[in-house]
Amino acid sequence: SLEDRLVKQYFKEQADAGYEAELDMLTKKPLDGSTYDVHNPRSRSAKLRAAVKK
């Protein structure tokens, strides 16, 4: 989705800034929902991305 792409690009820019990086990524790849969530059409496309601000 568009929102996921924006978040992905923002996290990448902030985490890859070298010495001046503002974020530490907690997960390398986004976490998807459980098999129960996959059967729910409204939560099927949800992805969790996590970072910690320095």
The pTM (predicted TM-score) of the whole model is: 0.72
- Give the model's pLDDT for residue 43: 84
- Give the model's pLDDT for residue 44: 83
Q: How many CB atoms lie within 10 A of CB 40?
A: 11
- Give the model's pLDDT for residue 36: 84
Tens-place pLDDT, residues 1-54: 789 999 999 988 898 887 788 899 999 899 988 888 888 888 888 889 999 998
**Domain total in the chain:** 1
- Give the model's pLDDT for residue 42: 85
Judged by phi (left if over 0) then psi (alpha if -120 to 50, else beta), residue 18 lies in left
- Parent domain of 39: 2-53
d(CA 13, CA 35): 31
